[in-house]
């Protein structure tokens, strides 16, 4: 059923024309030496503390999340810990429901 799947996908790929038209260094999956000798791109700075008032896109973010996403993630984590803690108290009979 899955015999020759890689060869079939290479033969029927709709992206073949796009891959041959694009330069070799634009593809992150090339194995030729030209991609290795190309100058590394400037990586964005990570970490550190940014106290500027430039808005959401002004500096490095924690895990790449915006402040509202971090808030929602922290609320979800708080609720998970609360529910699991209550479940553990009931399971170990430290509290009784009725």
Q: Which two tokens stand for residue 61?
A: 């973010």
* pLDDT computed for residue 95 by the predictor: 93
Backbone angles phi, psi at 87, to 5 degrees: -60, -40
Whether 87 shows a pLDDT value over 80: the answer reads: yes
How far apart, in whole angstroms, are the C-alpha atoms of residue 34 and residue 38?
Answer: 6
Predicted confidence band of residue 98 (pLDDT cuts 50, 70, 90): confident
- Residue 12 DSSP symbol: S
Q: Which two tokens stand for residue 35?
A: 């991609």
More confident residue, 87 or 61: 87
């Amino acid at each position: 059923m899955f015999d020759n799947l890689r060869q079939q996908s290479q033969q029927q790929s709709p992206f073949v024309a796009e891959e041959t038209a694009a330069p070799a260094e634009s593809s992150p999956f090339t194995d030729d030496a030209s991609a290795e000798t190309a100058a590394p791109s400037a990586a964005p700075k990570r970490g550190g503390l940014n106290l500027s008032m430039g808005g959401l896109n002004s500096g490095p973010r924690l895990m790449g999340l915006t402040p509202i996403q971090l808030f929602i993630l922290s609320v979800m984590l708080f609720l998970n810990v609360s529910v699991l803690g209550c479940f553990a108290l009931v399971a170990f009979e430290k509290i009784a429901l009725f």
